[in-house]
Structure 1
Amino acid sequence: MSEQLAQKWSKCPNCGKHVHVKQWGTFRRCPFCRMPQRLLVSERLDITFDKGSFEALNFELNPVNKLDFPHYTEKIRRAQDKTGIKDAIVGGKAQIKGIDVAVGIMDNQFMVGTLNTEVGRAIRSIMEYAHDQHLPLILFTASGGARMQEGIFSLLQMNTILHTQKLLRDAGNLTINVLTDPTMGGVSASFAFGSDYVFAEDHAQIGFSGKRVIEQATGEQLPDKFQTAEFLLQHGQLDDVVQREQLRDVLYRMLILHGYGDNFEK
């Protein structure tokens, strides 16, 4: 098979069937098992917000190797070359059916969306921007947790983001988190669940430690769907599980219900 032909086909990680690039569709679902695949930031923007409405904030992100962790600088450069962004988040202002919102999208393609000093600073900046502009905030999480190469500096971001998030809620700004696959570690343990509403995409993996680690630590067999969005909803940890085909409409209705915009569409 030629390289050009191979690029048109990929294997679904869930059912294992080979899928042509055109079969994934706009919402990136396997045509055989309907499992949603992880989205690029550009794809997330396209399916959620009004076309051409996104205006990026300039964070001037500059991740550095504070602890002289071996090969960390090289990993950052490779991730930057792969994704075209400076670190694992993109933020700015966009519109949903004409309603202005502040938005942050964590990028799982950049070192699994891990939280570090610069990503933490960017998230706080997005929240501060929403506060200053009196905008609702929609934050998409996708993270493997805190970035180990920055050690305690990564972990400190959890508390500082939580503090800024609380200030935003106390000011009366609507905050909505959308948990996507995966949302793990320190991100799930802190600000991922700290908004007014917490939604998740179907089949997203959400938790702290991995299932295998928990089973080894506790000696217990966990349910098959443990740490899935559906499992968390069943146990009262989410407000709803929303398919990405419906997410734009759901977010719009939440904005209208909280007084943003002029009309409510049934």
Structure 2
Amino acid sequence: MSFTLATWNINSVRLREELVLKLLSEEAPDVLCLQECKSPVDKIPLEGFQALGYNHIVARGQKGYNGVAIISRLPMVEAGAEDYASLGHARHIAGRLENGVTIHNHYVPAGGDVPDRAVNDKFGNKLDYLTEMRDAFHADKPSKSILVGDLNIAPREDDVWSHKKLLKVVSHTPIEVEHFGEVMDAGGWSDVTRNDIPDGLLYSWWSYRARDWDAADKGRRLDHVWATPDIASAGHSSRIVRTARGWEKPSDHAPVFATFDL
């Protein structure tokens, strides 16, 4: 079985329903994981997705904030949802395909603007969320699993437009990168995107603040596709659909794709 998966922080699934439909029509992933849906589950606009053959969904939602969903044209059942750091936020949902692969979709807290938990509770929440992810993977080693989402950390020097200038900017600080690495190590996760594209600058997010985001190209790779060691070698054909960042009224994130032969 071969299937293609995409992950995308959509920044409101209701506001950007047409963009989701455009991606599904033009790129046709078998599974699409969305973050920051900003919608209760019963308000997610499913009709258009279903018309394109995406008849399966698992989701967690809340009004106006956060929210995660996995829509699929492959049969899928819900496989749990975690509330790491006990924030009461809709930040994780898991779905299991018929081939036994579990897909975890995460929206890790952004962490606010100041990288100091003593003065910024949001940064503390982010570190706590990552710590609980790490501990959960230590306690229950995942297998035959894929983890995707907006993890809100660009870990490598070539995952940001300027390593030196962003060392004190939330998403690329050493303590965040350290926590990110501990989560990966705890689950034995493999970075599928960088396995496929090992070298060079690679971004999935560009700020709305840039007058011309494309020309300035001050991006960060905040969106990730991981796999457990037992299936990591089955992942291939990774790519970031950068053009989606230039669509009308876009999300500030671009979709990240990978294909798995399982």
Q: What TM-score comes out, normalization by structure 1 length?
A: 0.37
Q: Normalized per residue, which structure has more helix?
A: 1
Q: What TM-score comes out, normalization by structure 2 length?
A: 0.37
Name the structure, 1 or 2, with higher relative contact order (CA <8 Å, separation 6+): 2
Bigger Rg, structure 1 or 2? 1
Q: Normalized per residue, which structure has more strand?
A: 2
